């Protein structure tokens, strides 16, 4: 569907402030009781969606190939902060057979008239970065790093990305990329990681393994994960729907 969007009327956004955003993969939301729901994430600009016609795109792109970046930074500097509303779509895994599409198929979108969007938050960009390399080039977003309440699904592409992103980031930024200020946790943490290239943390403990009675690190609280178990024979076949 990405190519369908590309060649559609909304395929060439006017700028970053007037374009939607959405996740490709299906994740899972899990409540404290362990009940899971499939989830899709969406960002909708509060200022609406604007796109360029082919002729306009040729003119704008030929005049300034970074026009969208310039528009974004200029708007933030002027105090016209871009804002997006955060929406989710959810499906109960027990009901997935009721739909005429596979919720875990990354080539499909969930129809909004069948699975309504639910507003849950907003994103406001209110500051331009000071150091492009430190705050932008060193960022390492990873689908495998999740927060309590969010879990993976059996989305096959997601299962691959969970592993591949971390490996590419170690190659690009080094083994201690999660210690960089742009990627480090904002809360206190203890991981027993020592040494390695570009490790600028001062560690004076003697224990670099776990568990240890000399340095009894405290466990993070446990959160429920889906208890659903799948089994069966794996085979290649045509999916009718």
| Segments in the chain forming alpha helices (H) | 2-6, 54-63, 67-77, 132, 156-173
Residue appearing with tokens 């507003």:
119
In a domain? residue 116 = yes
- Per the CB < 8 A criterion, the answer to whether 109 and 117 are in contact is no
- Least confident range from 120-134, 142-156, 215-229: namely 215-229
Structural domain includes residue 226: no
| Residue 130 placed within a domain | yes
Q: How far apart are CA 6 and CA 174, in angstroms?
A: 35
**pLDDT at residue 75 is higher than 90:** yes
Is residue 227 domain-resident? no
So what's the pLDDT on residue 214? 76
- Highest mean pLDDT: which range of 54-58, 113-117, 202-206: 113-117
Per the structure, the count of domains in the chain is 1
Residue 241, domain member (yes or no): no
Structural domain boundaries enclosing 43: 2-179
- The verdict on residue 127 lying in a domain is yes
**27 band by pLDDT with thresholds 50, 70 and 90:** very high
* DSSP secondary structure code for residue 16 in this structure: G
Q: What is the CATH number of the domain that holds 49?
A: 2.40.180.10
197 with 176: CB under 8 angstroms? yes
Q: Is 137 inside a domain boundary?
A: yes
**pLDDT over threshold 70, residue 22:** yes
pLDDT for position 138: 94
**Percent of the chain residues topping a pLDDT of 90:** 56
Contact status, residue 42 vs residue 36, Cβ threshold 8 Å: no
Q: Is the pLDDT of residue 190 over 80?
A: no
**87-119 pLDDT, tens digit each:** 999 999 999 889 988 999 998 899 999 999 999
> What average pLDDT does the segment 15-27 reach?
93
The CB density around residue 158, as the number of other CB atoms within 10 Å, is: 20
Domain annotation covers residue 141: yes
């Amino acid at each position: 569907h990405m190519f369908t969007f590309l060649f559609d009327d909304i395929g060439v956004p006017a700028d970053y402030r007037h374009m939607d955003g959405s996740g490709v993969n299906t994740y899972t939301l899990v409540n404290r009781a362990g009940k899971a729901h499939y989830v899709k994430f969406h960002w909708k600009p509060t200022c609406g969606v604007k796109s360029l016609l082919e002729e306009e795109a040729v003119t704008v792109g030929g005049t300034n190939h970074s026009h969208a970046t310039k528009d974004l930074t200029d708007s933030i500097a002027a105090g016209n902060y871009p804002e997006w509303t955060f929406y989710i779509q959810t499906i109960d895994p027990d009901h997935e057979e009721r739909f005429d599409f596979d919720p875990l198929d990354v080539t499909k979108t969930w129809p909004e008239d069948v699975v309504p969007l639910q507003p849950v938050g907003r994103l406001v960009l209110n500051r331009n970065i000071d150091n492009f390399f430190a705050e932008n080039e060193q960022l390492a977003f990873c689908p495998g790093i999740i927060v309590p309440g969010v879990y993976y699904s059996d989305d096959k592409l997601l299962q691959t990305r969970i592993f591949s992103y971390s490996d590419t980031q170690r190659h690009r930024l080094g083994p201690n990329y999660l210690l960089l200020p742009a990627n480090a946790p904002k809360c206190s943490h203890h991981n027993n990681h020592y040494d390695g290239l570009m490790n600028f943390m001062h560690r004076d403990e003697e224990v670099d393994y776990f568990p240890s009675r000399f340095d009894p690190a405290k466990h993070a609280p446990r959160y429920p994960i889906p208890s659903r178990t799948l089994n069966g024979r794996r085979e290649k076949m045509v999916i009718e729907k």
